[in-house]
């Protein structure tokens, strides 16, 4: 009953913030808000998570929408003088894609040309096509980016009920709520969910696929007609999630297939799968690979006709290019590269990428206040999450010898594989690298939620030791950055600083191991 008046009120307010005919803006924004609140209410009731889940979803949607409005309106005033800031966009990708979506919407070309024409900035075309569709039919008279920001916030929040329901079925309610809160409050997820980016869509499609997969492997009531109906429903949800990923980013669909296939294998007591499941997974994997290779080779840069060869060549060139970019853009990294053997450069890029966005640099490096706040919040979120991801292997090993242990160890392995790939692909880039890493945040949030509950129940000493090691790293590295920018205190050579940090880590972990053994 309250949905319609709130939608109309918000629609009027948003229409006043954007150019063009006010009545068209009012009708379109009101319609999207009505759609958003209806879907959020229906999905929340369906998930049956109670008042706690309602609050999580409401906070997630509100945070993304408010951050999106604040950034879009604040950057032109308080940001830098570049084109992205003046247009109100944090991400260059979002800005260029938005401009091309508006151009396509206003042209006589069909929307589906986003998937085929080489003019498209969007690498895969799915989000460009959706954005152009929204502009053509809901905002034909004026360019209203807040319309797409609102839809991003909606899509991002819609993933939470699916995530909660799936994790609750597999790991229980405590882990489900922990994962949902982490998913809702993680700053990088909020920033991406408040922008016209692929990640909100990928995260929600991943959550939908996880729910479908959870329903399939649970096989509730499989000996009854109800069980067959649930199994069909599970396959439908899984198909929707994977199809959505294929349209937005085939590489994520491929990696998700690998995660789910390994999960199914390790949790199957007989270590075998039905031929139908294998066939479906293989078919989707091959389609994803073909989509991915075709998207990567739009420009005709790669001569090979083999999809695997195209992907391999692209990844190799991307890693090489990012290593070059790090060296070119940072004087001290260039100095380190000159001093280290060539074989050490790739491992250095990987480690450097894992620590991005670097919190000490965010705290110390001078920039505009609005950007300082964005940098610090993103960094704080990653450094708060990192100890739980590091301990995911230990938490999985301590989960006994059943299926749960196999699932957590498998997810930990694949999650860290993706983090390393993101570090190599994005290198030292403070924006692309964390964004790539967040693409699999559904799995990272699930792992972090599991580790958090595990620590609360066991009070394992290693959690505190890892946190202490991180604090030591941050304090020493922050002083190093402060001495670099403001000449506060003496500055150790980089190698010596790394040696001091490693030495202190060794002392902390050794002392912790000794105390833990003595107490046991």
Structural domain contains residue 321 = no
Residue-wise pLDDT for 419-476, tens only, equals: 888 887 766 677 888 998 999 999 999 999 999 999 999 888 889 999 999 999 999 9
- For residue 411, how many C-alpha atoms fall within 13 Å in the half-sphere facing its CB? 28
In this predicted structure, what is the pLDDT of residue 445? 97
In this predicted structure, what is the pLDDT of residue 248? 84
Angle at 260 between CA 254 and CA 266, to 5 degrees: 135
Q: Is the pLDDT of residue 220 over 60?
A: no
Angle between helix 441-458 and 199-218 (nearest 10): 60
DSSP 489: S
Structural domain contains residue 334 = no
Structural domain contains residue 325 = no
Structural domain contains residue 339 = no
- How many structural domains is the chain composed of? 2
Task: Assign 330 a pLDDT band (cuts: 50, 70, 90).
Answer: low
- Residues 108, 140 within the same domain: yes
- Residues 83, 153 within the same domain: yes
Structural domain contains residue 129 = yes
Helices (H), 48-142: 50-78, 83-87, 92-105, 126-138
Cβ–Cβ < 8 Å for 117, 135? no
- Residues 463, 485 within the same domain: yes
Task: Assign 483 a pLDDT band (cuts: 50, 70, 90).
Answer: confident
In this predicted structure, what is the pLDDT of residue 490? 74
- For residue 234, how many C-alpha atoms fall within 13 Å in the half-sphere facing its CB? 23
0.85 surpassed by pTM: yes
Tokens standing for residue 136: 């053509």
Q: Is the pLDDT of residue 339 over 90?
A: no
Q: Which residues contact 234 (CB under 8 A, 6 or more apart)?
A: 212, 213, 214, 215, 216
How far apart (Å, rounded) are the C-alpha atoms in residues 246 and 272? 27
- Residues 111, 228 within the same domain: yes
Task: Assign 299 a pLDDT band (cuts: 50, 70, 90).
Answer: very low
Cβ–Cβ < 8 Å for 146, 139? no
Task: Assign 190 a pLDDT band (cuts: 50, 70, 90).
Answer: very high
Residue where one domain finishes, among candidates 443, 458, 473: 458
Mean pLDDT for the chain overall = 84
Domain range for 466 is 459-520
In this predicted structure, what is the pLDDT of residue 213? 92
- Residues 197, 248 within the same domain: yes
Task: Assign 118 a pLDDT band (cuts: 50, 70, 90).
Answer: low
Structural domain contains residue 343 = no
In this predicted structure, what is the pLDDT of residue 326? 57
Cβ–Cβ < 8 Å for 221, 266? no
Using only the alpha carbons of the chain, give its radius of gyration: 24
Structural domain contains residue 407 = yes
In this predicted structure, what is the pLDDT of residue 290? 58
- Residues 417, 481 within the same domain: no
Structural domain contains residue 482 = yes
Residue where one domain finishes, among candidates 458, 479, 497: 458
- Residues 420, 469 within the same domain: no
In this predicted structure, what is the pLDDT of residue 221? 40
- Residues 11, 29 within the same domain: yes
Residue where one domain finishes, among candidates 433, 458, 483: 458
Cβ–Cβ < 8 Å for 256, 204? no
- Residues 174, 280 within the same domain: yes
- Residues 380, 520 within the same domain: no
- Residues 194, 236 within the same domain: yes
- Residues 378, 505 within the same domain: no
């Amino acid at each position: 009953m309250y949905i319609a008046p709130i939608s109309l009120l918000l629609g009027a307010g948003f229409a006043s913030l954007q150019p063009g005919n006010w009545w068209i803006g009012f009708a379109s924004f009101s319609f999207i808000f009505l759609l958003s609140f209806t879907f959020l209410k229906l999905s929340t009731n369906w998930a049956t998570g109670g008042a706690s889940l309602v609050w999580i979803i409401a906070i997630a949607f509100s945070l993304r929408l408010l951050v999106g409005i604040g950034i879009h309106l604040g950057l032109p005033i308080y940001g830098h003088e570049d084109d992205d800031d003046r247009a109100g966009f944090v991400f260059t990708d979002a800005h260029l894609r938005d401009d091309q979506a508006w151009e396509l919407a206003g042209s006589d070309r069909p929307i589906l040309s986003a998937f085929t024409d080489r003019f498209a900035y969007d690498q895969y075309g799915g989000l460009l096509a959706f954005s152009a569709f929204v502009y053509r039919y809901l905002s034909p008279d004026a360019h209203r980016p807040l319309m797409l920001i609102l839809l991003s916030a909606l899509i991002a929040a819609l993933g939470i009920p699916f995530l909660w329901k799936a994790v609750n079925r597999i790991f229980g309610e405590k882990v489900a709520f922990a994962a949902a809160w982490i998913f809702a409050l993680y700053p990088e997820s909020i920033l991406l969910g408040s922008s016209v980016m692929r990640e909100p869509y990928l995260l929600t499609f991943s959550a939908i696929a996880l729910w479908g997969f959870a329903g399939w492997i649970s096989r509730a009531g499989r000996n009854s007609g109800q069980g067959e109906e649930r199994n069909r429903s599970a396959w439908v949800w899984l198909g929707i999630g994977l199809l959505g990923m294929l349209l937005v980013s085939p590489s994520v669909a491929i990696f998700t297939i690998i995660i789910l296939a390994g999960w199914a294998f390790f949790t199957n007591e007989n270590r075998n799968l039905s031929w139908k499941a294998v066939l479906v997974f293989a078919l989707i994997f091959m389609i994803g690979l073909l989509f991915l290779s075709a998207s990567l080779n739009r420009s005709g840069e790669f001569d090979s006709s083999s999809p695997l060869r195209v992907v391999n060549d692209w990844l190799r060139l991307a890693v090489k290019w990012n290593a070059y970019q790090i060296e070119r853009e940072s004087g001290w990294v260039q100095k380190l590269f000159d001093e280290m053997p060539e074989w050490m450069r790739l491992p250095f890029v990987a480690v450097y990428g894992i620590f991005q966005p670097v919190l000490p640099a965010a705290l110390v490096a001078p920039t505009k206040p609005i950007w300082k706040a964005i940098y610090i919040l993103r960094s704080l979120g990653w450094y708060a999450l990192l100890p739980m991801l590091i301990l995911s292997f230990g938490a999985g090993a301590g989960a006994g010898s059943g299926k749960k242990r196999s699932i957590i160890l498998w997810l930990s392995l694949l999650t860290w594989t993706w983090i390393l790939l993101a570090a190599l692909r994005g290198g030292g880039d403070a924006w692309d690298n964390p964004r790539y890493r967040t693409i699999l945040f559904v799995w990272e949030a699930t792992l972090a939620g599991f580790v958090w509950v595990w620590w609360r129940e066991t009070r394992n000493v290693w959690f505190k030791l890892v946190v202490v090691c991180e604090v030591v790293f941050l304090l020493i590295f922050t002083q190093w950055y402060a001495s670099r920018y403001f000449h506060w205190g003496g500055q150790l050579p980089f190698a010596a600083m790394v040696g001091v940090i490693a030495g202190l880590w060794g002392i902390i972990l050794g002392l912790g191991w000794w105390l833990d053994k003595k107490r046991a």
